[in-house]
Amino acid sequence: MKSVSFSILFFVFLFNFNAQSNVTLSGYVKDTANGEMVNGCNISADGVKFSTQANSYGFYSITLPAGKYVFKFSYNGYDTKNLTLDLKETKNLNIELTQTAAISTGSAKVTKKKDNAVEKVDMSVNNLSIGQIKKIPALFGEVDIVRSIQLLPGVTTVGEGASGFNVRGGNIDQNLILLDEAPVFNSSHLFGFFSVFNPDAVKDVKLIKGGIPAIYGGRLSSVLDVRMKDGNNKKFEVNGGIGLIFSRLSIEGPIKKNKASFVFAIRRSYVDALVKPFVQKNPDLKEAIFYFYDLTGKVNYNINKNNKVFISSYIGRDVFGAPGAKFDWGNTTLTGRWNHIFNKKLFLNTTLYYSNFSYGLGFKNNSASFDWNSTIRNTSLKTDFSYFINTKNTLNFGVVSTYYIFKPGNATSKDNGVSVNFSLPEKFSLETAIYAENEQKLLKKLTIRYGARFSNFEYIGKGTEYILEDNPIPGQPKVIKERKKYNKGEVIKTYNNLEPRFSANYLFSKNASIKLGYNRMAQYLHLISNTAASVPLDVWTPSTNNIKPQLADQIALGYFKNFGKTMDYETSIEGFYKEMGNQIDYIDGADLLLNTELETQLLKGKGRAFGLELYLKKNVGKLNGWVSYTLSKSERKVVGINQNSWYANRFDRRHNLNIIATYSISDRLSVSGNFVFASGTPITLPSTKYSVGGLQNVPQNPNDKRNNVRIPDYHRLDFSATLKGKKKPRWEGEWVFSIYNAYARKNAFSIYATPNFKNNNTPTIVRYSVIGTVVPAISYNFKFK
């Protein structure tokens, strides 16, 4: 460790050396209206000759020879700002950008705004501003971040209502979902209909699918980086919405003008109250409760020019109940951040976070009860440096360490006062990583980013190491040869992985580039789930001596081009190939819950995915939106499944087309529509049956093929219209009317074989649709300032 820090320092020193005669312009990029930091803003001087990007905390620094320049500050959703400066000496300058009118107010004004995707070295990245997300027609009119990113190229889902999302053929546990840097282990409310992010508290959303920078690690397939608002530091503002499923309210404002601000947002669903009159007749449902809520809050304080602190937190929970039974789950996160500017070129972010996901399940009758809960908890400290070395080099490096506590199941059965404990032992682990990555302008037209992340994972005691027999009988649980007990803090198993990362961008012209990205990722946490879609009961487990870390190598190649009179069309075409090792699968009929010997139920396999993604986006003008098309394939090969040969993953979809369009009719009225088409996912169906042990209709699949048939294709059309109220000095209101699934297609979530459908006692093939009709909705949003 010591030697690594030393080499980083040396590296820094080396680069510092040749930057003597230059001057530096540095500072923060902020939003004019509310003082929010604008993360990732592109800064260039004299065209593309000198360019840099603000980091994810809004800080930028550009070093160049003294002289007169036209600086250009541009970012998606903001008017580009041109600034002529005669730079004779190093200077600190905070920049304020104004949101592009078309997005912030929906007006028909056509603005000149060029997106900078072509110039950035980042590839396979989709940024969505909350303004864009709000334009997409939504289920029940409720804006939702995870449902919105499912409309991007390379992103799919198992089906309507399934929790999470799949990126480039990866499993849902392979997405690193960050809310202000704290990982969120389950991003769903109401199973998967809504996500945990309150759009009123979110600033921006970035999805990284490939060429993943070294700052990120721990998951194979993607990073969904959700940043919360800092809170308006200029004036108070109240935002809210009343919808059919839930209502929202958020308050933000300065605590001390331009010095400290806060944002606090709350959501609560009232499906239970609304549904009550309809379920009076059914005693089970009458006594049923189901609701969710979440609270999101953030405070920030500018101590001085060089120091800022932020504290943010999220608490959310879903609660379901039926007579004699209860089920609840939710996440809690707490993030503390300190941003420090050492000098014009060196920026530090230190984050301390805590994140927790837990669920509880209980049954009870008059005399006895059974209660069960499970938790994954982690605490992490990370330090990231951005070093803007010179005009050609920007170095990011840092270190992160995370301590995990897994409680796979605490279960107690109580019977007339006698209680029996079935709890599984806790598991502990420590994950540490260091990384360094340099973005270098190698030639005028060629920028590369290269680096690596070195990750270390320790599975530590108190715990038991299960040593398994070498040659398991296929289909049977593995046999435990030996159980070795370890004391608290003793290392049971260690893994190390070097994860190289590389990206390159070659600019053909100002408006066209070709990009290449490679990343190796290691993942030490695994979500244990063998159901069609992940459910909140699924348990996270660390890597152990038997569960090896998942590894992925991905290579992506893309062509990016902007065109149109004002460069208002942005296009990209990307191809990717990904290989994944140590993928977890399960023996048939595996026991995954409350099983001390879980490791005996697991199988190991490999995965591969490849595809082509086309993306056409129009950012500005009366009509804007995007079209995305993905052609892809995701497969898996596991000894013990499908006669040991490759088979399609449950979430494999060959074609995926999304068309999203918004048209501003007037300053007050805009309409949106989207169309989604996705090939049916594969599932397994039996072709024969037999009886055994007095049980009839046992399904059999004679050729033992997994995922042997495909469910019908999915397609759907949605519309929405937003009507803004008349302008009042302090009140802005808008009505959102939406129609989801406009032509009422009964899209299949799955099809299955059942021996007894609706008491017909006849084997039947059944199509199950989660949403089988048109879902109209109306909601009202307001802003008070």
Partner 1 sequence: MFNSIKYFSLTLIISTLFLLSSCERAIDFDLGSAESQLVVDAFLNNTSDSQFIFISKSIPYLDKNGPSGYEVDSIIVVDQTTLKPYRFKKLRHGTYFYVPNNDSLTLGHQFYLAVFDKAKTYVSSSKMGRVGTIDSLIYERESPNNPKNLNFNAEFIGKDPVGVGDLVWIREYKNDTLVKDFNVAYDNAFTPNDDRNGDGELYIVPLRTFRGYTFGDKITIEIYSISPECYYYLKQIDVQLNNTAGLFAQPVANLNGNVFDANNSKNKILGFFNVGASIKKSGIVK
268: CB partners within 8 A, 6+ apart = 246, 247, 291, 292, 293
Residue with Cβ nearer partner 1 (3 or 366): 366
Residue with Cβ nearer partner 1 (370 or 506): 370
Residue with Cβ nearer partner 1 (364 or 783): 364
224: left (phi over 0), alpha (psi -120 to 50) or beta: beta
Q: Contact region for partner 1 (CB under 8 A) — 10-18, 246-254, 293-301, 420-428?
A: 420-428
Comparing CA positions, the residue from 636, 637, 638, 639 lying closest to residue 649 is 636
Q: Does 546 bind partner 1 (CB under 8 A)?
A: no
Strand 569-586 relative to strand 602-618: parallel, antiparallel, unpaired? antiparallel
Spacing of C-alpha 91 from chain mean position: 37
Residue 173: CB minimum distance to partner 1, A: 15
According to DSSP, residue 598 is labeled G
Residue 743: CB minimum distance to partner 1, A: 15
CB atoms within 10 A of CB 644: 12
19: CB partners within 8 A, 6+ apart = 63, 389, 390
Q: Contact region for partner 1 (CB under 8 A) — 307-315, 388-396, 415-423, 547-555?
A: 415-423
Residue with Cβ nearer partner 1 (11 or 370): 370
Residue with Cβ nearer partner 1 (540 or 752): 752
20: CB partners within 8 A, 6+ apart = none
Residue 606: CB minimum distance to partner 1, A: 18
Q: Contact region for partner 1 (CB under 8 A) — 112-120, 507-515, 585-593, 608-616?
A: 585-593
Q: Does 421 bind partner 1 (CB under 8 A)?
A: yes
Q: Is 139 helix (H, G, I), strand (E, B) or coil?
A: helix
Q: Is 376 helix (H, G, I), strand (E, B) or coil?
A: strand
Residue with Cβ nearer partner 1 (488 or 726): 488
How many residues sit close enough to partner 1 to count as binding (CB under 8 A)?
107
Q: Does 690 bind partner 1 (CB under 8 A)?
A: yes
Query: How many Cα atoms within 13 Å fall on the side-chain side of residue 515?
Result: 30
C-alpha to C-alpha distance for 737 and 719, rounded to whole angstroms: 8
DSSP 409-469: EEEEEEETTEEEE-PPPPEEEEEEEEEEEEEEE-SSSEEEEEEEEEEEEEEESSEEEEEEP
Q: Does 484 bind partner 1 (CB under 8 A)?
A: no
Kindly tell me which residue out of 19, 448, 532, 669 binds partner 1, with binding defined by CB under 8 A. 532
Q: Does 639 bind partner 1 (CB under 8 A)?
A: no
Kindly tell me which residue out of 78, 327, 385, 524 binds partner 1, with binding defined by CB under 8 A. 327
Residue 468: CB minimum distance to partner 1, A: 13
387 near 364, Cβ under 8 Å?
Answer: no
Interaction pattern, residues 151-180, with partner 1; x per rule: CB under 8 A: ----------xxx-----------------
Q: Does 688 bind partner 1 (CB under 8 A)?
A: yes
Residue with Cβ nearer partner 1 (109 or 414): 414
Residue with Cβ nearer partner 1 (694 or 729): 694
Kindly tell me which residue out of 401, 530, 545, 546 binds partner 1, with binding defined by CB under 8 A. 530
Residue with Cβ nearer partner 1 (343 or 762): 762
Q: Which of residues 286-305 bind partner 1 (CB under 8 A)?
A: 287-288, 290
473 near 487, Cβ under 8 Å?
Answer: no
Interaction pattern, residues 97-136, with partner 1; x per rule: CB under 8 A: ----------------------------------------
Interaction pattern, residues 726-765, with partner 1; x per rule: CB under 8 A: --------------------x--xxxxxxx-xx---xxxx
Residue with Cβ nearer partner 1 (401 or 754): 754
Question: What is the CA angle 688-690-691, rounded to 5?
Answer: 160
Residue 465: CB minimum distance to partner 1, A: 13
Q: Contact region for partner 1 (CB under 8 A) — 2-10, 171-179, 396-404, 685-693?
A: 685-693
Residue 466: CB minimum distance to partner 1, A: 10
Tell me the residue ranges of DSSP E strands in 342-367.
346-364
Q: Is the peptide bond before 256 cis (omega within 30 degrees of 0)?
A: no
Provide the token pair at 49.
């000759």
Q: How far is CA 255 from CA 263, 279, 415, in A?
A: 10, 47, 54
Kindly tell me which residue out of 20, 89, 565, 694 binds partner 1, with binding defined by CB under 8 A. 694
CA dihedral 178, 207, 27, 445 (to 10 degrees): 150
Q: Does 193 bind partner 1 (CB under 8 A)?
A: yes
Q: Contact region for partner 1 (CB under 8 A) — 221-229, 301-309, 418-426, 487-495?
A: 418-426
Residue 403: CB minimum distance to partner 1, A: 25
Q: Does 5 bind partner 1 (CB under 8 A)?
A: no
758: CB partners within 8 A, 6+ apart = none
Residue 181: CB minimum distance to partner 1, A: 30
147: CB partners within 8 A, 6+ apart = 138, 139, 194, 195
Interaction pattern, residues 252-291, with partner 1; x per rule: CB under 8 A: -------------------x--xx--xx---xxx-xx-x-
Provide the token pair at 618.
């129009």
Residue 632: CB minimum distance to partner 1, A: 21
Q: Which of residues 329-388 bind partner 1 (CB under 8 A)?
A: 361, 363, 365-366, 368-370
Kindly tell me which residue out of 71, 78, 320, 385 binds partner 1, with binding defined by CB under 8 A. 320
Q: Which of residues 197-216 bind partner 1 (CB under 8 A)?
A: none
Q: Does 464 bind partner 1 (CB under 8 A)?
A: yes
C-alpha to C-alpha distance for 285 and 280, rounded to whole angstroms: 8
621 near 102, Cβ under 8 Å?
Answer: yes
Residue with Cβ nearer partner 1 (445 or 689): 689
Q: Is 9 helix (H, G, I), strand (E, B) or coil?
A: helix
Residue with Cβ nearer partner 1 (206 or 526): 526
266 near 252, Cβ under 8 Å?
Answer: no
Provide the token pair at 133.
């997300």
Q: Does 596 bind partner 1 (CB under 8 A)?
A: yes
Residue with Cβ nearer partner 1 (599 or 613): 599
Q: How far is CA 403 from CA 142, 216, 329, 457, in A?
A: 36, 17, 22, 10
Kindly tell me which residue out of 67, 639, 704, 731 binds partner 1, with binding defined by CB under 8 A. 704
